């Protein structure tokens, strides 16, 4: 196993095919998200440049998508002979902030932990090891000239940690496949479903006045309490999905008033809904409008603006019986030595965007700890397993 030595600045070696060493290289490239944190990150330009050079070195067709300056995504394609199913290997190239990492966020060091080699660094687990597994897999397919009828699409996308600019750009550019896999770090669990989320803002309206003039003022913050109480009752009736589990909501933000000595004219509550497939933007807005109208009927003087959706991401659900699920599970069983658990997950990822445009998508990946935490590491053996799953899946799915 190759262990790279500092210094860590480029140029980085594009001849590497080993998934562990690729994980080290990718971890040492700062690709912290530009828009996610209070302190802007480095962005995806350097890592996108490396990926394009890596693909060029192997003669793999590649394309750069950059609709927003400084937020590039790279698409590599191994073309099949025709008549087979295509497979997309999708993975994000950005990470969360380096500021929250305790020590050497870009180290990429291999160290033994509990008797097993692991790689440390921000993004090593989430999800540069997944990208490395994808890269090693397509390098293996390319170098061995594995006969394929369907195309293999390697989609290294920007901005998944914030607004999913990369996968949205990918979809808008027309890239599609008959199946897709995302190697988020699932600890060897095969994920077929997850919740979506919707952010809804609600303005409760009052009347501004001097704090000494209660006859003129209407306290919007106090009246927002009626809305919060109604939400608490409403959440008990949220639907449940047999795979994903119960929908949920919470009030993530509340903002109102100008100063203590004035009656607040407006109080804005932002509610996040974690959604299941039966819920839509329209159904949730309908429920919020009905809830607000009921309060206004019961509480004369209660006023509000129309609720509005500020951000919405769909849920994801692929039937367990789907051939992509069954084929991947069979391959993973051979490699892991046991049948992987097939589950849903609580967090959201780009699988939902791919699923929404008709691309059957699953999530399966490596083991480790420290997602978005002060220390992050990935198990090297699990990277190799993910690579092996992808090699076999490409050969079987795209035949």
CATH class of 19-194+316-398: alpha beta
CB 74 within 8 A of CB 202: no
CA 126 to chain centre: 10
Q: Do domains 19-194+316-398 and 196-313 have the same CATH topology?
A: no
Residue 62 has pLDDT above 90, yes or no: yes
Q: Taking CA 318 as the corner, what is the angle to CA 315 and CA 323, rounded to the nearest 5 degrees?
A: 160
Instruction: Give per-residue pLDDT as tens, 81-137.
Output: 999 999 999 999 999 999 999 999 999 999 999 999 999 999 999 999 999 999 999
Structural domain boundaries in the chain = 19-194+316-398, 196-313
Give the orientation angle of helix 19-27 with respect to helix 129-143, to 10 degrees.
140
Instruction: Give per-residue pLDDT as tens, 140-179.
Output: 999 999 999 999 999 999 999 999 999 999 999 999 999 9
Residue 379 has pLDDT above 90, yes or no: yes
Mean pLDDT, range 191-210, rounded to an integer: 98
To the question of domain 196-313 being in CATH 3.30.70.360, the answer is yes
CB pairs under 8 A, 24+ apart, for 52-59?
53/14, 54/14, 54/135, 55/154, 56/14, 57/14, 57/15, 58/139, 58/142, 58/143, 59/142
Residue 322 has pLDDT above 90, yes or no: yes
Show the tokens assigned to 290. 């009905």
Mean pLDDT, range 314-323, rounded to an integer: 98
Query: What is the C-alpha to C-alpha distance for residues 76 and 51, in angstroms, rounded to an integer?
Result: 9
Residue 1 has pLDDT above 70, yes or no: no
In the chain, the percentage of residues whose pLDDT exceeds 90 is 96
- pLDDT grade, residue 10 (50/70/90)? low
Among residues 50, 343, 52, 68, which one has the least CA distance to residue 188?
343
pLDDT score of 11: 77
pLDDT score of 2: 38
In the chain, the percentage of residues whose pLDDT exceeds 70 is 97
- pLDDT grade, residue 3 (50/70/90)? very low
Residue 303 has pLDDT above 50, yes or no: yes
Under 8 Å CB-to-CB from 53, ≥6 apart: which residues? 14
CB 264 within 8 A of CB 256: yes
Query: What is the C-alpha to C-alpha distance for residues 328 and 149, in angstroms, rounded to an integer?
Result: 19
CB 239 within 8 A of CB 279: yes
pLDDT score of 144: 97
Instruction: Give per-residue pLDDT as tens, 329-368.
Output: 999 999 999 999 999 999 999 999 999 999 999 999 999 9
Residue 7 has pLDDT above 50, yes or no: no
pLDDT score of 4: 41
Nearest-Å Rg of the Cα atoms of the chain is 24
CB 267 within 8 A of CB 223: yes
What mean pLDDT is reported for the chain?
96
- pLDDT grade, residue 9 (50/70/90)? low
């Amino acid at each position: 196993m190759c262990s790279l030595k500092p210094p860590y600045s480029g140029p980085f070696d594009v001849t590497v095919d080993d998934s562990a060493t690729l994980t080290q290289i990718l971890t040492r490239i700062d690709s912290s998200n530009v828009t996610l944190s209070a302190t802007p990150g480095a962005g995806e330009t350097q890592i996108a440049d490396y990926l394009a050079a890596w693909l060029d070195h192997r003669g793999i067709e590649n394309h750069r998508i950059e609709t927003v300056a400084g937020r590039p995504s790279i698409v590599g394609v191994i073309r099949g002979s025709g008549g087979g199913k295509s497979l997309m290997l999708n993975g994000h190239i950005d990470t969360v902030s380096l500021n929250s990492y305790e020590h050497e966020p870009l180290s990429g060091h291999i160290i033994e932990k509990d008797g097993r080699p692991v790689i440390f660094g921000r993004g090593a687990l989430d999800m540069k090891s997944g990208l490395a597994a994808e890269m090693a897999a397509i390098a293996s397919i390319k170098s061995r000239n594995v006969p394929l009828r369907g195309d293999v699409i390697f989609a290294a996308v920007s901005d998944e940690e914030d607004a999913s600019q990369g996968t949205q750009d990918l979809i808008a550019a027309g890239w599609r496949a008959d199946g897709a896999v995302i190697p988020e770090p699932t600890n060897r669990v095969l994920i077929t479903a997850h919740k979506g989320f919707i952010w809804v803002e609600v303005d409760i309206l009052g009347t501004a006045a001097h704090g000494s003039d209660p006859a003129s003022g209407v306290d919007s913050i106090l009246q927002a309490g009626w809305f919060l109480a109604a939400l608490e009752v409403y959440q008990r009736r949220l639907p449940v999905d047999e795979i994903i589990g119960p929908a949920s909501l919470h009030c993530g933000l509340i903002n109102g008033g100008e100063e203590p000595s004035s009656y607040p004219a407006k109080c804005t509550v932002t509610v996040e809904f974690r959604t299941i497939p039966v819920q839509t933007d329209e159904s949730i807005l309908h429920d919020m409008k009905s809830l607000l109208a009921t309060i206004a009927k019961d509480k004369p003087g209660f006023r509000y603006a129309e609720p509005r959706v500020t951000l919405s991401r769909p849920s994801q659900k692929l039937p367990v019986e789907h051939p992509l699920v069954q084929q991947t599970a069979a391959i993973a069983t051979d490699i892991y030595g046991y049948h992987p658990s097939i589950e849903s997950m609580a967090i959201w990822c780009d699988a939902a965007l791919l699923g929404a445009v008709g691309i059957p998508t699953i999530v399966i990946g490596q083991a480790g700890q420290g997602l978005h935490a002060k220390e992050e590491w990935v198990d090297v053996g699990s990277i190799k397993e993910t690579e092996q799953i992808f090699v076999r899946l490409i050969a079987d799915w795209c035949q």
